[in-house]
């Protein structure tokens, strides 16, 4: 009965065991998982654009090879995640349609422009650093296919974070102009990186339910604090100043205090009014339309092959 099924679901979650695709789950759980996984997949795919912007202009063959591999990894992450969403009954073409029609979200961070090559380093260091902070706990998320996808994604993200740090370290040891590029990139990306964790807990409609279902393992504010605490010493090692005069160690709390975040900016960017939203979605739409002949050819081939097998 429904009661037994619900009880079994609740006990599985409470024991920290995984919910698998064929298990019974409340419709709200399924809808929340599809929402989060789809947004996450879209973020990986849209996230290819800001860095992809620099592939043809990378300053050396080595940097170009690294950047190509990294952007390709992001495509791979998107593909695992779309597959995880499909295990919940989501339809892949429908998810793409929702992205390119602006009906489904992706991370706010990818709506900012990449103005110099230092941005590639800062995205690796701060943006991928924030992504790791958010995603490592998701390896223990209650939905099996999502949690397992997250293990490989986090390993690759850690590698991306290191490459960003190494790039910045190299630039910081370079010329005054290079150090200035790093400073400018850090200034532009610091606050948007803190916004990646989502609205403050008091203003986060989904957190309580997702925590109870053990989809999320920490709140938005907890993870944001963890990110600040981990990043400040890294900034010191790099020799860069984070653009927040209120950033200081609070011995009583055992954490860094930091300044007020401009939540109206996050709201604006999420609602489509960020500096690059229109460009990002238009680019994705164009790529999808340009790929129509590949999908048609694959479908024609499959139909022909099916006919041949039947004959
Ligand atoms: N950018 C865009 N939308 C956001 C952001 C953000 N930075 N933060 C929150 N939102 C959206 C939420 O998706 C939600 O919208 P919806 O209800 O219409 O779906 C709304 O704002 C309210 O936020 P919350 O109630 O806090 O939503 P939620 O519990 O889903 O928490 C979070 C948001 C933390 C982003 C969560 O979904 C999550 O952990 N997702 C997985 C990680 C992820 O998607 N990372 C992508 C970027 S990292 C990368 O790809 C490199």
**195 CB near ligand 1 (under 6 Å):** yes
Tokens matching residue 152: 């490989």
Strand positions, DSSP E, the chain: 248-250, 255-257
Q: Is the CB of 132 under 6 A from ligand 1?
A: no
> How far, in Å, from the CA of 218 to the mean position of ligand 1?
13
pLDDT of residue 250: 98
| Ligand 1 atom 38, closest CA | 36
Write phi, then psi, for 16 (nearest 5 degrees). Answer: 65, 30
Tens-digit pLDDT profile for residues 60-76: 999 999 999 999 999 99
Report ipTM for this prediction: 0.98
Kindly report, residue by residue over 5-30, the tens digit of the pLDDT: 999 999 999 999 999 999 999 999 99
Test site for ligand 1: of 34, 81, 156, 198, most ligand atoms within 8 A of the Cβ: 198
Q: For 15, which DSSP code?
A: T
Average confidence score pLDDT of the chain: 97
In angstroms, what is the span from residue 284 Cα to ligand 1's centroid?
20
Ligand 1 touching residue 119 (CB < 6 A): no
For ligand 1, say whether the CB of 41 is within 6 Å of any of its atoms.
no
Q: Give the largest Cα separation in the chain, rounded.
A: 77
Distance from Cα 151 to the centre of ligand 1, integer Å? 19
How many residues are present in the chain? 311
Burial letters 285-308, b for 16+ CB under 10 A, else e: beeeeeeeeeeeeeeeeeeeeeee
Is 244 a pocket residue for ligand 1 (Cβ < 6 Å)? no
111 and 280 Cβ atoms separated by less than 8 Å: yes
Q: Is 141 in the pocket of ligand 1 (CB under 6 A)?
A: no
Q: Quick check: CB of 114 below 6 Å from ligand 1? A: no
CA 230 – CA 242 distance, rounded (Å): 13
Question: What's CA 91's distance to the chain center, in Å?
Answer: 21
End-to-end CA distance of the chain: 45
**For 169-210, how does the pLDDT look when each residue is reduced to its tens digit (9 = 90+)?**
999 999 999 999 999 999 999 999 999 999 999 999 999 999
What burial class does residue 261 get, using C-beta atoms within 10 Å of its C-beta: 0-12 exposed, 13-18 middle, 19+ buried? middle
Q: Residue 308: pLDDT above 90?
A: no
Q: How far is it, in rounded angstroms, from Cα 267 to Cα 26?
A: 30
Q: For ligand 1, say whether the CB of 224 is within 6 Å of any of its atoms.
A: no
Among 77, 20, 24, 16, CA closest to 46: 77
Ligand 1 centre to CA of 78 (Å) is: 15
DSSP letters spanning 79-144: HHHHHHHHTTT--HHHHHHHHHTT-S---GGGGS---STHHHHHIIIIIHHHHHHHHTGGGG-SBH
Distance in Å, CA 197 to ligand 1 centroid? 7
Ligand 1 atom showing the smallest separation from residue 134 Cα? 39
């Amino acid at each position: 009965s429904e009661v037994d099924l619900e009880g079994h679901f609740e006990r599985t979650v409470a024991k920290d065991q995984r919910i698998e695709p064929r298990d019974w789950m409340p419709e709200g759980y399924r809808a929340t998982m599809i929402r989060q996984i789809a947004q996450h997949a879209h973020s990986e795919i849209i996230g290819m654009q800001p860095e992809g912007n620099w592939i043809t202009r990378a300053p050396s063959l080595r940097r170009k090879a690294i950047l190509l591999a990294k952007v390709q990894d992001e495509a791979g992450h998107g593909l695992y995640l779309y597959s995880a969403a499909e295990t919940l009954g989501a339809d892949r073409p429908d998810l793409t349609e929702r992205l390119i029609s602006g009906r489904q979200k992706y991370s706010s961070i990818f709506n900012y422009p990449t103005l110099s090559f230092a941005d590639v380093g800062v995205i690796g260091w701060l943006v991928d650093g924030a992504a790791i902070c958010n995603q490592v706990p998701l390896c223990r998320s209650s939905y099996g296919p999502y949690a397992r996808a997250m293990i490989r994604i986090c390993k690759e993200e850690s590698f991306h974070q290191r490459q960003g740090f190494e790039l910045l370290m190299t630039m910081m040891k370079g010329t005054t102009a290079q150090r200035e590029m790093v400073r400018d990139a850090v200034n532009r990306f610091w606050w948007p990186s803190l916004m990646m964790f989502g609205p403050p807990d008091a203003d986060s409609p989904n957190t309580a339910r997702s925590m109870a279902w053990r989809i999320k393992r920490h709140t938005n504010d907890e993870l944001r604090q963890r990110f600040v605490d981990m990043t400040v010493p890294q900034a010191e090692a790099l020799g860069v100043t984070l653009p927040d005069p209120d950033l200081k160690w609070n011995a009583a709390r055992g954490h860094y205090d930091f300044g007020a975040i401009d939540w109206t900016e996050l709201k604006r960017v999420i609602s489509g009014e960020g500096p690059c939203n229109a460009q990002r979605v238009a680019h994705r739409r164009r790529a999808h339309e340009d790929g129509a002949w590949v999908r048609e050819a694959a479908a024609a081939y499959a139909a022909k092959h099916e006919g041949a097998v039947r004959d």
